[in-house]
Amino acid sequence: MTELQQTQDNTPSDDIAVVKAIAVLADAARRDFPALAAQLKAAGFGITGYEPSQEKPGTEAASDIGALIEGRGIYHGTWKAVPNGVTVYAYSDTDFLKDASGEQMLLTWYGARDELARRNGGRRYGDGTEAALGDALVEPGTEGVYKDGDLVMAPLVLLNGVDRDGKKSRAANTFALLRGSKGDAFKSISNTLRNSSGFARWSWSCSELRDYSSHVLAVSLSAGLVDWNHKVFYRLGVLPFRIFREPHAVKAVSHLGI
């Protein structure tokens, strides 16, 4: 527990000093500990029992993985896009894609791609595959570049933690987070899975089957299974994702207990 206490050699005598000290604490998340300590001492306060956070300001907070982030969705951590190697921040929606009446939409892969583009104001990135999404995640400002927050189908590895070769390569994935969830973030997804069956429990990914571009890998979010499906012949559900180039804001002074 962090304890904020007045220093004996410089005790403020009015409320103004207290207000100044609080302002210093509010700024702590954006500064390192030595700078914070110096400002507190100048304001007449000292911190005892404090251990500086090892996390750099502005970076992702591992404790937020699996949490619902306002304005973004359920945080899945970072994802390194291929082939350009850009590291981005991935957030799933809180439920499968549904229509205006609340009914789950079962769509072909092309239908899912086009429906997401419609909800993005007509924006679609290449042919909608994982490779095309990676190409679109370059610096903003040019035509065809991904717009942060647009809805897309997730790469396979974000849905169940395996790559296209079946190799387990990621712990923070939708299926694992869903199974381990103890809060409300996955409540709507869980309810949809509980009240549906068959293809409605599957989500399209944007990861094509190697050597067969007519087929895409999909994930059963009720069982974690992976299967390939033809882009035209099958109708499945889809759990949309949003991608951001910058992380969500870390809670101010979240590492301080006063």
Encode the chain (258 residues) as per-residue pLDDT tens digits: 333 333 344 444 454 454 455 454 544 444 444 555 566 566 665 544 444 434 343 445 567 999 999 999 999 999 998 767 789 999 999 999 999 999 999 999 999 999 999 999 999 998 999 999 998 998 666 667 999 999 999 999 999 998 877 888 899 999 999 999 877 999 999 999 999 999 999 999 999 988 888 999 999 999 999 999 999 999 999 999 999 999 998 654 434 444
Q: Measured at the alpha carbon of residue 245, what is the angle toward residues 244 and 248, in degrees to the nearest 5? A: 65
pLDDT for res 253: 40
pLDDT for res 62: 63
| φ, ψ of residue 48 in degrees (nearest 5) | -120, 155
Q: What is the CA radius of gyration of the chain?
A: 23
pLDDT for res 136: 92
The two three-digit tokens of residue 241, written as one number: 């994702």
Four-CA torsion 145, 90, 60, 179, nearest 10 degrees: 180
pLDDT for res 93: 98
* Of 168, 145, 147, 149, the residue nearest 157 (C-alpha): 168
Query: Could you give the 3-state DSSP secondary structure of residue 178?
Result: helix
Domain ranges of the chain: 3-48, 62-244
pLDDT for res 11: 42
Beta bridge partners of 57: none
pLDDT for res 119: 97
